[in-house]
């Protein structure tokens, strides 16, 4: 009976192995667990969802090479020809068709993408509410011989 099960599972194993991707990517992952309402007349269900996280250096590198390729990929014959005709090949590997744009235009496009990314990252780091403090007393209305300026509001 075990040989029968193995013979039945062998084609499925070969199919799954053939369809599996060649490389596996590892990186940071964030998982969130929530308690969700079930269908009628059942107990609550715990659901965990995991997703990859993109670090800030990875994001900045990706944005910096949005429309142009890095120098090592950008000097080959393919990029020389596409630059001549104004076709932008971007991405970190330099193999993604981005549209039309000569090298000077794509540098401007990359700068704009990096500027927008930096603005979003700075906004995410800042506190949305400004720090509120009471007004400090002014020492310009008193003399040195008079009272100290350390008091609060006047």
Taking only the tens of pLDDT, the chain with its 154 residues reads 455 554 444 454 444 444 455 555 667 788 888 888 877 777 888 888 888 888 889 889 888 888 888 888 778 888 889 889 988 888 888 888 888 888 888 889 999 999 999 999 988 887 767 666 666 666 777 776 666 565 544 4
> What is the reported pLDDT for 117?
93
Give the pLDDT confidence score for residue 15 in this predicted structure: 42
Angstrom distances, CA of residue 86 to CA of 56, 67, 71, 94, 103:
31, 12, 17, 15, 8
Predicted confidence at residue 148, as pLDDT, reads 59
Cβ(88)–Cβ(79) below 8 Å: no
**CB-count burial class (<10 Å; 0-12, 13-18, 19+) for 114:** middle
> Helices (H) and strands (E) in the chain — how many of each?
5, 4
In the chain, what are the helix, strand and coil shares in percent, each to the nearest 5? 40, 15, 45
- Give the burial string for 134-153 (b: 16+ CB within 10 Å, else e): eeeeeeeeeeeeeeeeeeee
The full set of domain ranges for the chain reads 53-120
């Amino acid at each position: 009976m075990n040989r029968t099960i193995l013979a039945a599972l062998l084609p499925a194993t070969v199919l799954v192995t053939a369809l599996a991707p060649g490389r596996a990517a590892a990186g940071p992952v964030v998982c969130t667990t929530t308690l969700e309402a079930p269908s009628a007349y059942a107990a609550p269900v715990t659901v965990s969802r995991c997703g990859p996280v993109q670090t800030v250096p990875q994001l900045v590198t990706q944005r910096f090479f949005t429309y142009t390729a890095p120098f090592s990929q950008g000097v080959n014959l393919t990029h020389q020809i596409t630059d001549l005709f104004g076709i932008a090949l971007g991405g970190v590997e330099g193999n993604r068709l981005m549209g039309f744009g000569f090298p000077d235009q794509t540098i401007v496009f990359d700068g704009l993408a990096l500027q927008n990314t930096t603005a979003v990252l700075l906004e995410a780091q800042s506190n949305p509410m400004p720090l509120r403090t009471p007004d400090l007393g002014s020492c310009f209305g008193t003399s040195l011989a008079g009272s100290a300026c350390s008091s609060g509001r006047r």
